[in-house]
Amino acid sequence: MTFELTILGSSSAIPTSEKYPTAQVLNVLERFFLIDCGEGTQIQLRKQKIGFGKIKHIFISHLHGDHFYGLIGLISTFNLLGLKNNIHIYSPSQLKDVIQPQLDFLKGDMQFDVIFHPLNFKKAERIYEDKKVEVFSFPVKHSINCSGFLFREKQREANINKESIARYQIPIEQIKNIKKGADFVTASGDTIPNSELTTPPPHPRSYAFSADTAFHPPIAEIIKGVDLLYHEATFTEELRDWADKTYHSTAKDAAKMAQMAEVGKLIIGHFSSRYDNDEPFANEARSIFPNTEIAVEGNKYSVSQKQRHH
């Protein structure tokens, strides 16, 4: 059961010859969520062999160009390919004003609608859900309105043991309640506890994308205990003044957030083009939070299922 993040872009404001601006794809149970859409995102999707037709939900954290300038090109390609799935974009409300004129220009043969869902920058709220997944937005601290995103599997029901069904002759109509936690009373009046009838479902997996932000402690409570956290680390501590001035984080800030939120693994990215290599970021973060990895374009980060025990 897939839960996998693919990095498409890991640079900050200015792309380099080796790095594209921010973009990621999260595959949760074959639901493909595009997170930010910097310039060149569609090229990176091609390189990673992620089918365009799988992208139906796009999350744009804020309206700095390196996080959304790839959007109109991607939508144009969807149009040229004759795709028919509606595209849902979760973004600051102003994005519609920015790209609607371009969409109108394309409109001629478009066989799908682009549906905008404005984000709330005052509090965390659920912005998407289906039977198996839910997505929340949450405000971060940047120079303009900016949102992070939390993706979480919904809790599954317990699995009933086939042996128990036969042994206790459990009627089909009672299986649903037992999966939800009910005990079973036999014909002779004996109560069989739920723990003897079922095996617990896997622990729900989760991923948090903390977009461009200064160090902001309230984020920790919202993302508490996530399996995987992406947190920007535009600078190292030697450029702390720049980080404070531009409302960005250092690698140390990202590691402190991972530590506070008790996350499973930290991925850092959005590196300033001032740096020639990524080692200073890795060293700084790992000194505080050892389970840190550098966001490398094309890398995939999977979260495996963890079985619970009664």
Is position 278 annotated as part of the catalytic site? no
Handedness of CA 38, 43, 48, 49 (dihedral sign): positive
Cα separation of 122 and 139, whole Å? 6
Burial state string for 164-201 with b = 16 or more CB within 10 A and e = fewer than 16? bbeebebeeeebeebbeeeebeeeeeeebebeebbeeb
* CA 229 – CA 281 distance, rounded (Å): 16
Among candidate residues 44, 42, 33, 30, the one with its CA nearest the CA of residue 295:
44
Q: Are 8 and 44 in contact (CB under 8 A)?
A: yes
66, 212, 227, 253: the active-site residue: 66
Token pair listed for 262: 């008790």
Mind telling me the catalytic residues? 66
